[in-house]
Amino acid sequence: MTIERRSLFGSWQFYRGALAIALPIMLQQLIQSLVSLIDNFMVSGLGDICMSGVNVAGQVLFVFMVFINAICMSGGIFMTQFYGAKDAEGMGQAFRFKLVAGLAAFIPYLLVTVVFPRQVLSLMLIGNTQADLILDEAVQYMRIMFWVGIPMTVSMSIASSLRDLGHVNTPLVVTVIATLTNTVFNWLLIYGHLGFPGLGVRGAALATVIARLVELALFIAVYLRTKPAFAVKAANLLKIDRSLFKSILRKSAMVLFCEMVWVMSETITTALYNGRGGADVVSGMAASFAIANLYFVAFGGVYSATSVLLGKTLGEGNLEKARQQKTWLLSGTAVFGVVMTGFGFATTLLVPIVFERLSDSAILLCKQMVMTMSLFMIPWLYMNTQQAIARAGGDTAMGAFTDAGLTIFVMTPMVFALALLTDVGPVVLYCGVKLVDVIKVVVFHFWLKKERWLKNLTKREASA
């Protein structure tokens, strides 16, 4: 195959192929974010305390989702390369890994949501002046959210595998149906309409459970009807290639470590932000992330497009083409980051409309946070693409050693120092610690130049 002349940017045909993967994923996540925004709008009508309770409980679900997503990304490293090599058995083994490892992760989720919810959630509110009132609402929400664990795990395993093969439209359609279901039941159950009881935060949790069950049913129907290339019979689900499973597990260990260090650092910093005031701080921060999720959709689209394109090229054994695609993807991401920064600033117009029922101090905090996060979109997107490039070739060490290392030894001590030794507000605290991400971009740049990611994993596994 003819390789295009080395250049900073690729052809429009190349970027059109990347956008064909990225845009449906971004649209899917945008719909989810819009529905989440509607959820927050509905819950915010109950006041700062109720919204704070849902946000604190939602942090546990966020940790679980990141864990499952990390498992799916680990399996996806091999899924995309086996797809490029047209190895159906390899794809099936990667799918088995996602399901088995994901279901094993349900055990700690069970303990947190059912056995020790108040004890765990209280760690998110140390120093908050209204902690007890917020916890009362959060525990109600958390006990119901237990039921989303298994449906979400199976759905994410199927959806991520479809995306690994470049089939992005089906997850989009399923997401639209599930999120509309969530919205309708939020309207029915939070305040009580059409004869349904008004259950407040419990209604919001029940609506999410119903939507996740609908999503699961649809994905199983798609799986049984279309029999994708990675599909395995139920009777053969536990027929695992131990050698390959161990290889995926070795790679996934570093991905999981990196992702969990990140999510735990986010959880710790969120707890520190929450301690800077009362329910207005918690609800204001929660509202800002609900708005920011409208432009954070770029992360999933860029990551998936990079993983699918590079993974397929590496699986085909075309290393020179992969080397060139890496440059094109990074350059395109930088330009895209500028666009998303502008979009981020524009979303501040939504704050007083969506969250008009929150306190004035919560609304002001929300606006400041949305603008701050918009300014970080270029380095965040660039760093996201760097991670996707490394992982596409199985170089999970970059994230484990550099990303996690800087987070543990630089960012975490910094946030504790700022929180304990100064009286700066949550926005300044957030901005200060996120400047570390600029350092990560530079370190990742030099790491990728070593080209440890430039590998065909299918050949390595075949010879193992």
What one-character-per-residue DSSP string does 328-339 give?
A: HHHHHHHHHHHH
Closest CA to 43 of 261, 202, 163: 202
Q: What is the pLDDT of residues 270-295, one digit of tens each?
A: 778 777 777 788 788 888 888 888 88
Per-residue pLDDT band for 460 (boundaries 50, 70, 90) equals very low
Give me the pLDDT at residue 346, please.
Answer: 93
Boundaries of every domain in the chain: 12-463
> What value does the mean pLDDT take over residues 353-361?
81
Using pLDDT thresholds of 50, 70 and 90, give the confidence band for residue 35.
low
Top mean-pLDDT range of 143-157, 277-291, 333-347, 348-362: 333-347
- Read off the pTM: 0.72
Give the type of residue at 235: A
In tens, the pLDDT along 434-459 reads 888 999 999 999 999 988 888 877 65
Give me the pLDDT at residue 427, please: 87
Dump pLDDT digits (tens) for 411-440. Answer: 888 888 888 888 888 888 888 888 889 999
Above 90 in pLDDT, residue 259?
Answer: no
| Contact in structure between 232 and 171 (CB atoms under 8 Å) | no
Q: What is the pLDDT of residue 463?
A: 42
Confidence bin at 210 (pLDDT 50/70/90): very high
Q: Report the distance separating Cα 93 and Cα 269, nearest Å.
A: 37
More confident of the two residues 95 and 356 = 95
**Alpha-carbon torsion (172, 194, 204, 368), positive or negative:** positive
Per the document, the length of the chain is: 464
Residue 4 has pLDDT above 70, yes or no: no
Is residue 408 over pLDDT 90?
no
Residue 241 has pLDDT above 90, yes or no: no
- Three-state secondary structure readout of 49-82: HHHHHHHHHHHHHHHHHHHHHHHHHHHHHHHHHH
pLDDT for position 214: 94
Give, in order, the Cα–Cα distances in Å from 307 to each of 106, 137, 274, 328, 415: 26, 40, 35, 14, 32
In this prediction, what percent of the chain has a pLDDT beyond 70? 94
Q: Is the pLDDT of residue 252 over 70?
A: yes
Contact status, residue 190 vs residue 43, Cβ threshold 8 Å: yes
DSSP 8: S
Mean pLDDT (the chain) is 83
**What is the pLDDT, as a whole number, of residue 29?**
74
Residue 202: how many CB atoms within 10 A of its CB?
Answer: 17
> What share of the chain in percent tops pLDDT 90?
16
State how far the Cα of 389 lies from the Cα of 383, in Å rounded to an integer: 10
- Per-residue tokens: 330: 């990074």
115 vs 373, higher pLDDT: 373
**Residue 431's pLDDT is what?**
86
pLDDT of residue 344: 92
pLDDT of residue 296: 85
Cα(74)–Cα(405) distance, integer angstroms: 20
**What pLDDT band is residue 389 in, cutting at 50, 70 and 90?**
very high
DSSP letters along 243-258, please? HHHHHHHHHHHHHHHH
In this prediction, residue 374 has a pLDDT band, given cuts at 50, 70 and 90, of very high
Q: Find the mean pLDDT for residues 42-53.
A: 72
- Of the pLDDT bands very low, low, confident and very high (cuts 50, 70, 90), residue 464 is very low
Most confident of 151-165, 189-203, 280-294, 331-345: 331-345
DSSP code string of 89-106? HHHHHHHHHHHHHHHHTH
* Token digits of residue 87: 């190895």
